[in-house]
Chains A and B, each alone.
Chain A
Amino acid sequence: MDTPPPAIHVSGLRKSYGRLEVLKGVDFTVAAGSIFALLGSNGAGKTTVVRILSTLLKPDAGTAGVAGFDAVAQPERVRESISLTGQFAAVDQILTGRENLVMVARLRQVSDPGRVADDLLARFGLTEAGARRVATYSGGMRRRLDIAMSLIGDPKVIFLDEPTTGLDPEARIEVWKEIQGLADSGTTVLLTTQYLEEAEKLADRIAILHQGTIIVSGTLAELRGLLPAAKAELVERQPTLEEIFLAVVGNKEQS
């Protein structure tokens, strides 16, 4: 059988900030073209994983491979394959939306930066706002611009760190549509989230990061199978990811 190599492969990843041990051996694999959700509560270490994968931070131990390249040994090759949309919108507030896009297009040396920018403005519903400074944008508009900036140059792998945190429900649904569209066009998406609903809605596979390790991972159906039988009887409808999360985290803390 010939399976394509994974887009992301993380194994034995460890990272401490001083005495604080945040990652204690994290392992997961993301298939090319799929959406993978890294789920965890605030402070679980999701951003730390994303920063290691996007070559911004070096792990203490373990390996992080992206698109077949090692994030520590071949950071330039990794950067050519990825795009990062960080936890806080990384847009230039003093420039206009269009200028932000043109800037990234020119940095990535794609041809016809102006057209690329106009196409993305149209696609993300920002055409009218394109000539305005980003400082005047709403949170949802900034997030959409942020994601649009990440798409320039057609990266193979996109990291979205809590892409919908702080957005209103409408803006959240728009961002979800875009993420789905990305995966449909063959891009690999790793997204982190605190919202179980988001992982449930978007992800092909879900991994729960808790107390420094991945305590469970699999498809939504596989995770549902983890729910203790007794609990499953009490829950008449399909259990939500939230119930699975609480059950698994609860078990972990008792043991």
Chain B
Amino acid sequence: MSAHVLSNTGVMLGRSIRHVTRSMDTIITVTIMPIAFMLLFRFVFGGAIQAGTDNYTNYLMPGILLIAISSGISYTGFRLFNDMQSGIFERFHSMPIARSAVLWGHVLTSVVSNAISVVVIILVGLLMGFRTSAGVLDWLAVAGILILFTLSLTWLAMIAGLAASSTDGATAFSYPLIFLPFISSAFVPTATMPAAVRAFAENQPVTSIVNALRALFDQQPVGTGIWVALGWCAGILVVAYAFAMRVYRRKVA
């Protein structure tokens, strides 16, 4: 990558980060819903859920983080859509700058803003009794998985932001993603589910990612499950990226 591309991407990242920090309400919106779910599951349903654990906050933390990221990326689609509508995209594209910088500015902003909400939620989780024995390497692995997950969903959001014809279209794609953790091992063990639901739950990406994160937080062996989790993230990332670039090239001459 040339210095030119890096410099352009840095400017785009700076711009888009300002959009995030100047609308703190979006950060609050993005963190409040997962925190509400965390309270609900911990203090309302938690007592009745037999998860085979003595710390249910630990059990639900990975799923809560995935919900936070799934809702956070809808703002990425929203910001990209606004740029497409406002004409500033055309201005950038008529300038002698690296065109990839325009998209990567949004992608990196998505990673940074989701990282902020993840940190906020973990801090709230600590207040609610979340405890982990994870060491530095475990934390790095957790961060790596979450960043890869964010990147893969961000490129899905880029497709929506590029292709949408309304604000709703640019954000609504995230709703089903937010629900995936509920049909997974995120809140209850899959063993109690009816066969068909259980088959879905055990073979969709969220379960493998949740299990890997839970193992890392608990310093348990991650087993081969972590490769399934990484495979899902990398697969979604590659497909979404390829598709987003196709839409991009169709929209931009």
Do residues B253 and A56 form an inter-chain contact, with CB atoms below 8 A? yes
Q: Does A177 reach chain B (CB closer than 8 Å)?
A: no
Do residues A55 and B94 form an inter-chain contact, with CB atoms below 8 A? yes
Q: Which of B11-19, B57-65, B164-172, B179-187 contacts A (4 or more CB under 8 A)?
A: B11-19
A25→B23 CA distance, assembly (Å):
48
Q: How far is the CB of A93 from chain B (nearest CB, A)?
A: 7
B-facing residues in A51-76 (Cβ within 8 Å) = 51, 54-58, 76
Do residues B94 and A91 form an inter-chain contact, with CB atoms below 8 A? no
Q: Which of A105-113, A192-200, A211-219, A240-248 contacts B (4 or more CB under 8 A)?
A: A105-113
Contacts of B91 in A (CB 8 A): 84, 86, 90, 149
Q: Does B221 reach chain A (CB closer than 8 Å)?
A: no
- Contact for A86 among B11, B22, B23, B87, CB less than 8 A: B87
Q: How many residues of B contact A (CB 8 A)?
A: 23
Interface contacts (Cβ under 8 Å), in number, total 65
- Dominant secondary structure at the B interface: helix
Q: Does B86 reach chain A (CB closer than 8 Å)?
A: yes
Chain B, Cβ-Cβ closest to A109: B7
Contacts of B87 in A (CB 8 A): 86-90
Interface centre among B4, B22, B90, B91 (most CB of A within 10 A): B91
Q: Does B93 reach chain A (CB closer than 8 Å)?
A: yes
Chain A residues proximal to chain B, CB less than 8 Å: 51, 54-58, 76, 79-80, 82-84, 86-95, 99, 103-104, 106-109, 133, 149
Knowing that A107-B92, A109-B7 are A-B contacts, what are 13 other residue pairs whose CB atoms are under 8 Å apart, sorted by A's residue number? Answer: A55-B253, A83-B94, A84-B91, A84-B94, A92-B86, A92-B88, A93-B86, A94-B19, A103-B15, A104-B95, A107-B11, A108-B96, A149-B91
